[in-house]
Amino acid sequence: MRPGQSQAGLAYDRVTLLSGAWLPTGYPRLFRNVVSDLRTSINHVVNGAYFLGSEGQMGLAYPDDTADLSISQAHLVFQIQNGHHTIIGPAPYARSRLQNPPWC
């Protein structure tokens, strides 16, 4: 089985978010400025959009936290079907429906 689709992108996104917050400050150790940038910016990167300005300062999940895809990432639900990772939810990303495994 090949690896899933999110982990390499997640690592890339972390570096992109940090470097994007460091650039406007001119100095990465200006922590208040870096944190302020991270909390107020909407970043569109490999895995989707990150907005950390909500309560809890964490990325928003679609459709659980918000219906706005421009500030969130889809909380994708996968099932392995015919040896492949297949998205079964949520709409509009679903490519298939849940299938009962052969032992059911």
How do the pLDDT tens digits run along the chain, 104 residues long?
566 666 788 889 999 999 999 999 889 999 999 999 999 999 999 888 999 998 889 999 999 999 999 999 998 999 999 988 899 999 999 999 999 988 88
- List phi, psi (to 5°) of 19: -65, -35
- Distance, in Å, from the CA atom of 65 to the CA atom of 17, rounded to the nearest integer, reads 21
Distance of CA 12 to the CA centre of its chain: 11
Predicted structure pTM score: 0.75
Residues in the chain: 104
pLDDT computed for residue 102 by the predictor = 83
DSSP 3-state of 98: coil
